[in-house]
Amino acid sequence: MDALFSPLADALGASVDQIKLIFCLMVGYPLGSLFVRVPSSQPTLRHLFSIGVALLYFFPLLNLYAGFFQLLANILATYYIGKYNKSSNMPWLVFVIVMGHLTYNHVIRAIYGFSYETMEITGPQMVLTMKLTTFAWNVYDGRRKAEELDKWQLSKRITEYPSLLEFLGYSFYFPGILVGPYLDYPEYVELINETAFQHKTVQSVVKSGRRLPPGRKRAAYTRMIFGLFYLGVFVFLSPKYNFSVCMDPEFQKKSLLTRIALFQLSGPVERSKYYAIWTLTEGASILTGLGFTGLNDKGKPQWDGAANVKVWQIEFPPNFKVLLDSWNMKTNVWLRECVYKRVTPKGKKPGFRSSMITFFTSAFWHGIAGGYYLTFLMGGFITAAARLARANFRPLLLPRPSNPKGASALVKGIYDFLGILLSAMILNYSASPFIILSAKESIHTWKTLAWYGHIVIMGSLVFFYAGGNKYFRNLHKQLGIVAPVRGKPAANGVANGSANGTASGTATPVGEKNFVLPPSIDTVVPPEN
C-alpha cells in the first residue's frame, strides 16, 4: 500500500512510514465513532473490534507481519505466566521477559541502522510493555491482602482473571496500540462495560436516548485540531529550528549568549512532533469513551483522562516538578507504580536510589542510544536539585504566621518568571540528547552551550549539600515555617507537599467526580528530614 502514500510523503518531505502512521492515527477517529456504536452489552464484539483494527494496522497498512507475532508472543507469555505462576516473583518474571525482548529489538534496530523515520515494531512494543507489566502487578496485587496495598494498588488490583479474548482486546486496544495512550486493565474493563457512565450523577446530564455524556466529540475533535497544528509546526519549522543546529560551524561562531538564546527556539519545535502524535491519539481514544473523568464543579463532563501531555505547562512551567508531571504522563504513572515503588524495600521510603533505578529503566525502555542515558542520568540530578530548591525557596514566599500575606506580588512574580525561564532552559539543555541520540553529538552540543545546564544543576547541588540546605532550614525555623508532613496539612498554610516537591495526591477511580491523575515519579521522592 506504500504507493498510496508516496505522493503525499514526497510533497511533505516525509517518509512513507511517517505518513502511514499519521494516517492510522487519523483513521482512529471514524473507527472510534463506530466502536461506541457497538453495544456495551456485547463486550465480545468490542474486543473483536479492537483486535480486527489492530490486524488492519499491522498487516496491510504497516506491513509489520513479523512484528505483530512478536507482540502476540509477549501477550500470550504474560497471560499464561500471570495465570499459572502464583509466586511473588511473577511480575518480575514478566518484566524481564517483555523488557528483555524490547531491548533485544532496540539492539536489532541499532545494528541495522533503522532511522527513527522508519516504522517498525519497537514503538508499539514500548506501549505494550507498559500494559503487560502493569497487568502483571495488578494481578499480583489482587492476590495480596487489601491492607497491604496503597490506594492506587487497591483500585487497580485484578481479582478475577480475564479470558484470553478479553486480554487480547485489552492488549490490542486500537487507538493506543501504536503510540499510546497506555491504559491499565481495569480502565479497559470500564471502557468496554461503560461503567464510568452509569453513575447517577453522570446519567443526570446524559440526553434522552444517549448512552454517553455530552462533550465527547467536541473534546476529541478539539484534540485533533491541536494535534494537526503541532504536526504543522514540526513539518514547517523543524528544518530550521532543531537541536542539531549546534553542529553547524556557523552557529558555533556566534557569541555564547546568542547560541543559548537561539537554542531555546529549537526546543518547542522539536517537542511538537510528540505533542502531535500524543494529542491525535488522545482524541481518537476519547471517541471510544476513554478518558472520561467525571463531572466538574459546574456539572459538565470532563474528558482529560487519556491525556499524555500538557503542552502549556511544559513550555511555560512554573518549576521543573510541574514540567515533569506534564510530560509523557502515562509513562510516568507506569514508572512510578511498576518500578519506583516496586524496587523500594518493604517498610522503606523511596529515595535517590529508587529514582536513579527508575530513570535508567526509562532509558532502557526508550532504547540503547547513548543520548537517552545522558538525558535520564541528568534527569536524576535535576530532580534532586529541583526538589531542594523548591523546598528551600518557595516556603519563604508563602503566607506564614509572621507574614500572613506572604511575599509581595512583585517578588512572587519575579520568582515565578525565573522559575519558568530556568525550567524551560534546563529542559531544552537536558532533553537535547534525547532528540539527538548520538552521545558524541550530544556532548558536543552541551560543549557548544558552555555546559550551562551542568553548571546550574551541579552548582545547586554543591551549594545545598555544602551548607545551603542547613542555612535555609535554620532560616525557616527562625521565621516559624513548619515543613509539611505527608498526609497532613501544613501548619503554616503551605499546601501539603508544595514546599518540598512532593505530592500526596492519589488516583481516583475513573468516573468519580474531580478525578486527578497520579503524580509522576519525581513527586513521590520523600522530603528530607
Residue 366 known to be catalytic = yes
- Nine cell digits for residue 323: 514540567
Domain ranges, residue 20: 1-193
How many residues would you count in the chain?
529
Overall average pLDDT of the 490-509 stretch: 35
In terms of C-beta density within 10 A (0-12 exposed, 13-18 middle, 19 or more buried), how is residue 380 classed? middle
226 and 355 assigned to the same domain: no
Report the 10 Å Cβ neighbour count for 529.
5
Q: Does residue 203 fall inside a structural domain?
A: no
Query: Is pLDDT at 85 greater than 90 in this prediction?
Result: yes
189 and 266 assigned to the same domain: no
13 and 34 assigned to the same domain: yes
Overall average pLDDT of the 502-512 stretch: 33
Grade residue 487 by pLDDT with cuts at 50, 70 and 90. Answer: very low
Residue 339 near residue 524 (C-beta atoms within 8 A): no
Sign, Cα dihedral of 70, 359, 82, 150: negative
355 and 215 assigned to the same domain: no
Which one is predicted more confidently, 193 or 405? 193
Overall average pLDDT of the 121-142 stretch: 97
Which one is predicted more confidently, 498 or 20? 20
> Is the peptide bond prior to 7 cis by the omega test (within 30 degrees of 0)?
no
Distances (CA, A) of 316 to 28, 258, 324: 30, 21, 12
- Domain total for the chain? 3
Q: Does residue 494 fall inside a structural domain?
A: no
Q: What is the pLDDT of residue 485?
A: 46
455 and 339 assigned to the same domain: yes
Which one is predicted more confidently, 119 or 285? 285
Angle at which helices 122-142 and 90-112 pack, to 10 degrees?
Answer: 170
Top mean pLDDT of 45-54, 241-250, 416-425, 488-497 is at 45-54
Query: Is pLDDT at 524 greater than 70 in this prediction?
Result: no
Reported as a single tens digit per residue, the pLDDT across 183-209 is 999 999 999 999 988 888 888 888 877
Closest CA to 178 of 285, 315, 41, 25: 25
| Domain edge (last residue) among 285, 309, 333 | 309
104 and 8 assigned to the same domain: yes
Grade residue 405 by pLDDT with cuts at 50, 70 and 90. Answer: confident
158 and 297 assigned to the same domain: no
Overall average pLDDT of the 113-135 stretch: 90
**Whole-model pTM?**
0.87
Residue 199 near residue 50 (C-beta atoms within 8 A): no
414 and 447 assigned to the same domain: yes
330 and 281 assigned to the same domain: no
Share of the chain above pLDDT 90, in %: 68
147 and 44 assigned to the same domain: yes
Q: What is the pLDDT of residue 10?
A: 85
Catalytic residue among 366, 444, 454, 476: 366
Average pLDDT, the chain: 87
Query: Is pLDDT at 217 greater than 50 in this prediction?
Result: yes
Q: What is the pLDDT of residue 392?
A: 93
